[in-house]
Amino acid sequence: MRFLHTADWHIGKKLHGYDLLKNQEAALKEILAIAQKEQVDAIVVAGDLYDRSVPAVEAVELLNRCFYEMNLESNIPLLAISGNHDSGPRLATGSPWFSQNQFHLHTTMAQALVPVELSDVQFFLLPYFEPIEARLYFDEELTTIRAAVARVLEEMQQAFDPAKKQVLVTHFFVAGSSRTDSETTLAVGGLDSVPKDLFAPFDYVALGHLHSKNALKEEKVRYSGSLLKYSLSEMNDVKGVWLVDTEKSESIFQPLPVMQEIRSLEACFAELTDPKFYQALNRSDFWHFTLTDRAVIPNMMNQLRNIYPYILGVERVSGQASLPTTRPTRSQQKSPEKLAQTFFTEITGDALTTKQKSWLEKGLIAANEIEKRAVLCNQEN
* CB nearer to a second copy: pick between 86 and 234: 86
Residue 79 and residue 76: Cα distance in Å, rounded? 10
Q: Contact with a second copy (CB under 8 A): which of 97, 163, 326, 332?
A: 97
Position 68 contacts a second copy (CB under 8 A): yes
* CB nearer to a second copy: pick between 24 and 246: 24
Q: Contact with a second copy (CB under 8 A): which of 39, 75, 100, 379?
A: 100
Q: Identify which range of 87-95, 184-192, 230-238, 281-289 contacts a second copy by CB under 8 A.
A: 87-95
Residue 174 and residue 223: Cα distance in Å, rounded? 10
Nearest 5 degrees, angle CA 13-CA 14-CA 19? 110
* CB nearer to a second copy: pick between 47 and 225: 47
> Under a CB-based contact definition with an 8 Å cutoff, are residues 250 and 49 in contact?
no
The site that binds a second copy (CB under 8 A) totals a number of residues, namely 20
Q: Identify which range of 52-60, 243-251, 267-275, 313-321 contacts a second copy by CB under 8 A.
A: 52-60
* CB nearer to a second copy: pick between 93 and 157: 93
Q: Identify which range of 12-20, 61-69, 203-211, 237-245 contacts a second copy by CB under 8 A.
A: 61-69
Of the candidates 217, 222, 192, 193, which has an alpha carbon nearest to the alpha carbon of residue 206? 222
Q: Contact with a second copy (CB under 8 A): which of 3, 9, 50, 103?
A: 103
* CB nearer to a second copy: pick between 72 and 301: 72
- C-alpha torsion angle, residues 168, 173, 175, 181 (rounded to 10): 140
* CB nearer to a second copy: pick between 103 and 230: 103
> Under a CB-based contact definition with an 8 Å cutoff, are residues 78 and 103 in contact?
yes
Query: What beta strand segments (E) does the chain contain?
Result: 2-6, 14-15, 18-19, 42-46, 78-81, 103-106, 116-118, 121-125, 165-171, 204-208, 221-223, 240-245, 250-255, 262-267, 286-291, 311-316
Position 93 contacts a second copy (CB under 8 A): yes
Position 130 contacts a second copy (CB under 8 A): no
Residue 46 and residue 209: Cα distance in Å, rounded? 8
Residues that bind a second copy (CB under 8 A): 54, 57, 60-61, 64, 68, 72, 87, 89-90, 92-98, 100-101, 103
